Structure 1
Amino acid sequence: LTSGGAAYEVALTPLPFPGWSLATVIPEAEFLGPVETTLRRLILGLAIGAVLAALASAMLARSVIAAPLSRVVGELRHVEAFALEQVRRHPSRLKEIASLSGAIAEMASGLSAFRKFIPADLVRDLLRQGVEAKPGGHVQELSVMFIDIAGFTGLSERLGDRVVPLLSRYLDVTSEIIVANGGTIDKFIGDAVMAFWGAPQPQDDHAARCCRAALACRRAVEQSGLTDDLGQPLQIRIGVNSGRMLVGNIGSELRLNYTVIGDAVNVASRLEGANKSYGTQILIGEATERLARGAIVTREVDSIAVYGREEGLSVHELIGMVNGDAIDDEAVGWIADYERGLAAYRARRFTDALADFEAVLKRRGHDRPAELMRDRCRQLASAAPDAAWRAVAALATK
């Protein structure tokens, strides 16, 4: 029954008197109140327990699953950036996550082996710039350098497989210098090293950087103590040239090489070989001299027509850096004598030129370019050339 908003329970019990019953009326709150209170407390306790269990599960999942997965994702980021040396193996209570971390570490270890074959810094730069691994490129002004060992063919024939340790040490020395000066090692071709500056990272001073690296390579090889089989110090020859060239991923869909190609590259290779004719170690092209002027000390050696070309190219011997190498007054003097003689030679004043080249030899004692020019002047002074004569020396070999 309900009365006055309150519920009551009524029980009727028959009495032994005809027509009489005993009615017992009890408010529900008297006997259901404690049950409802207990039930409410039970529900509240269960709710709190469920929340605490959820929080505990979340914390457990975070420590056992989420945190290890986050670390694994971080290792994948290192692989993506080709920062393989930063990849670490992370243990986990979950076998699957531990296996995934181990697989990533093993993958990084395997990729690290390829760093011996490809320049890791180059890969990072290309990934950072979003360059896709497909054939393509663009033309821009760069500087390129070729280095090789003088007399390497005969040396390798005499030493056989014993030349490998010597070659490896020489390549180590030159490679470290190139990378330290911001260069990109293109490839090794036997004893030759090809490198370039200005790509993939733009370098406004690419010509000066290339020249600085060339001088540092020569100095490093001299200081390394490397000798040939006869005990003679190892000698290197370097050719440097600058100009517009194609740079990019050159090759096929199966294999690519990030490299430079073009006439300016070919000239750099020819200049390296021209050192043999002039008895020099570092020859640079006129474009390199122009771009690095003010930062380098050079002397113009000659105008040459490299193998495969007819037009003359002004060639300079790299002497040193303006602020990095000690160039004394004596050196300034013989450089001036030589270039004055070269100007006289080009003007067909062979007697005057002869005197200047002999002055260089008197100052230096031995200077192969001056000896060559002296002999030319003597020949031309005794037999005047015809009107078609050009002050350009043609190189018959590469």
Structure 2
Amino acid sequence: MGTQQGWPAPRAEGPVEGRVTVPGSKSISNRALILAAISDGPSTLSGLLAARDTSLMRSALVALGVGITEQDGLVTVTPGSLKGPASVDCGLAGTVMRFVPPVAALADGEVAFDGDEYARERPMDVILGALRTLGVRIEDHGTGRMPYSVSGAGSVRGGKVTLDASGSSQFVSALLLAGARYDEGVDLRHDGKPVPSQPHLDMSVGMLRERGVHVDDSEPNRWVVAPGPIRALDSAIEPDLSNAAPFLAAAVITGGSVTVTGWPSATTQPGDHLREIFTRFGAEVSLSGGDLTVRGTGRIQGVDLDLGEVGELSPVLAAVAALADGPSYLRGIAHLRNHETDRLAALETELNALGGDVNQTDDGLEIRPKPLHSGLFGTYHDHRMAHAAAVLGLVVAGLEIENIATTAKTMPEFPDLWSALVG
């Protein structure tokens, strides 16, 4: 990716040992902000992530007329009269570009959406088409992509809609989160290949139920949200378990021991699957009193994993697999081609540039470990690609990471936390 200088990835001189506290979950933070913005009163959120994606969400909601104040680390969200004209910068945040339009449809006036250059390439036609079916006026000049505008009439009819959410579970979550505020609620049916990232759907449904919304998901591929108020709720945001992946991986590949604090005993976060996945790689994993500890055993086994529910973990897991003692197969992740970047192509390109042997399949990656050498690892403005590169840099001498600042999307403190852990 050019000849520019990158961030020198810290190299581990021995087994990595330490304790890490990761910031709040982006997925929970942005869902909590959306729900608080359209609830029946003010909500106070503690532990809310402070990062680019949550900053973009806060700005979007404020632009629509929502009051958001912060004091002593507590964020108070006060619903307001939603209205345009307004402009929303989505950056490269999928939760903003997909969750905010169904809310903007409730506003009175026009709301314009745009984002980073690559955001204009991310497909939006599924959510825009669904909103049109539910009675919302949208102008996208026939592109199904940004920039587009939503012309809100102050209310949305709602009702039945069928869509293909095989590209992203966010298409479903977006309509569920706002659906209770529609006149007829929403009766949402998915028609297509399986919806990826089931834990994120469970998260959306669970957070709605906590706020008194009736959601019937008893029938496969169908979600019925009854119309009604969304109850205001003060809540504490869990740590972002997916962002714990590189820190725990450091223990696996160096034969060390890393503990992540504040790990919930029960959660809908996809990152909780790391406990099982790192065991499959050959590590020892234990959860006790809110501390999750992963110990490397000196051996990294090749794995055959279906990551359809936890695709966001794939970049870090691909990095671990590239250092294993046998081939690995990561499956069920065709939808990653439409994430922050085409993550499958990006991983194949960057790992092979370091001397790896990685091939794309229809729905994933085949990774055959080979000795890796120094180089500049491209991140494609994707925070999880940077996490993967940092993991590799622990054991690959002279690895540099292009644009480490992209980690600010969900964890601005990543370079400092990483350097402190590696020591």
Q: Over alpha carbons, which structure has the higher Rg? A: 1
TM-score by length of 2: 0.23
TM-score, with structure 1 as normaliser: 0.24
**Could you say which structure has the higher helix fraction?**
1
* Structure showing greater relative contact order (alpha-carbon pairs closer than 8 Å, 6 or more residues apart): 2
